[in-house]
Amino acid sequence: MDPLYKYLCMLGDNSMILGHRLSELCGHGPSLETDIALTNISLDLFGQVRNYFQYAASISSDDLSEDDVAFLRYERQYYNALLVEQPNTDFAHVIVRQFFFDAYHYLLLENLKNSSDENIANIAHKSSKEVSYHHRFSSTWVKRLGDGTEESHNKMQIAVDNLFPYTHELLSPNDIELQMLEQGIGADISILKERYIADIKQVLREATLSIPDNPYAYSGGKEGIHTEHMGFILSDLQYMQRAYPNMQW
């Protein structure tokens, strides 16, 4: 597989799977304003997906469309981090999952603005403006709920404890990411780690929440090895395209 094609899939898959998770909440937000905000974030992410997958399709040797890239791969051919496929357990988990990804996503895009690949750099310039808002939204909610009532604080701490072990995968570059970095195309994940941890700690401190003392780190998603949740996600995402072939977004 072309390393650039796989790298584009990695970038797009994160946004697509998280965007799908947020789309499941449409009409179920705790308030109308928050419901609309989460839906708009989902739409932003799917806009990014289209940019990545249109580019991926254009360099594919198999005459693919963006729809083929999005919907017609098998589970082991999706390379999103495990964090984004975690379920909408409750609003605390939704917000913490979003914040942990947003903090990483913003730093990633800022780095990708300097990519030697003009298409990736352009996507990063456009998307970073959207993700800056995503980060403000999720970090504000982390502080609001973490430093809120006893119940909201406890639920947020549970969500942090459950989801923080998934963040290590975001900051652990795999072979494709290292190869893209060597070519000047991909982001330097190693320089993101310090800033990411500093951001996480600052927001959690203001929210009176703590990072769990848990050395375990989940991984595998970027290699196509997923949790049990991924099959259910793909059954929803792929149903229409497989039932009615050649549909387009």
Residue 248 lies in a domain: no
Residue 84 lies in a domain: yes
pTM confidence score: 0.95
Residue 192 lies in a domain: yes
Which distant-in-sequence residues (6+ apart) come within 8 Å of 173 by Cβ? 181, 189, 190
129: confidence class by pLDDT, cuts 50, 70, 90: very high
Q: Rounded mean pLDDT of 225-242?
A: 93
Residue 65 lies in a domain: yes
Instruction: Residue 172: give the domain boundaries.
Output: 3-243
Q: Rounded mean pLDDT of 159-178?
A: 96
Residue 249 lies in a domain: no
Total structural domains within the chain: 1
Q: Give the residue from 249, 241, 228, 230 showing the smallest Cα distance to 77.
A: 230
Has residue 28 got a pLDDT over 90? no
Q: Rounded mean pLDDT of 162-173?
A: 96
What CATH number has the domain bearing residue 238? 1.20.1260.10
Has residue 53 got a pLDDT over 90? yes
Q: Give the residue from 241, 240, 248, 121 showing the smallest Cα distance to 180.
A: 121
Q: Rounded mean pLDDT of 90-111?
A: 98
Has residue 35 got a pLDDT over 70? yes
Residue 162 lies in a domain: yes
pLDDT tens digits for range 196-227: 999 999 999 999 999 998 778 999 999 999 99
Residue 160 lies in a domain: yes
Residue 101 lies in a domain: yes
